[in-house]
């Protein structure tokens, strides 16, 4: 669960909306601490080589047509290859979240006191 303003967001619901755009994608939605208010929602998407037409705009446009405005990811990071997995074979959400927070702090997009 992530918080965005007064709303609680179920990350799985957002991931399912992105999967509905293309089932070949690997998706992980994480909360990222922003400078103001509550968490921003970020989607990390691994796309296979045959899906290079999947862009940030495509994902955001698709999410806007399916989800409510406050559920649409504010950040979309596309990676080639696959997402890291834990020993159980599931996408390692914790590692991706930490990596994404480091990236955002490096770019000065999040609150410095949290990182």
Q: What is the CATH number of domain 2-114?
A: 3.30.300.30
Helix runs in the chain, H state only = 11-19, 56-66, 93-106
pTM: 0.74
Domain extent listing, the chain = 2-114
Q: Which residues contact 102 (CB under 8 A, 6 or more apart)?
A: 115
Residue 66: pLDDT over 70: yes
- Mean pLDDT of the region 84-90: 90
């Amino acid at each position: 669960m992530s918080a965005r303003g007064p709303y609680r967001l179920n990350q799985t619901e957002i991931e399912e909306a992105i999967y509905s755009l293309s089932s070949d994608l690997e998706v992980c939605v994480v909360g990222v601490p922003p400078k103001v208010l509550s968490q921003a929602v970020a989607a990390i998407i691994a796309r296979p080589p045959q899906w290079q037409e999947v862009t940030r705009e495509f994902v955001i446009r698709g999410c806007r047509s399916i989800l409510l405005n406050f559920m649409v990811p504010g950040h979309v990071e596309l990676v080639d290859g696959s997402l890291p997995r834990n020993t159980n074979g599931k996408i390692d959400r914790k590692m991706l979240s930490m990596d994404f927070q480091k990236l955002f702090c490096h770019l000065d997009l999040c609150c410095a006191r949290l990182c």
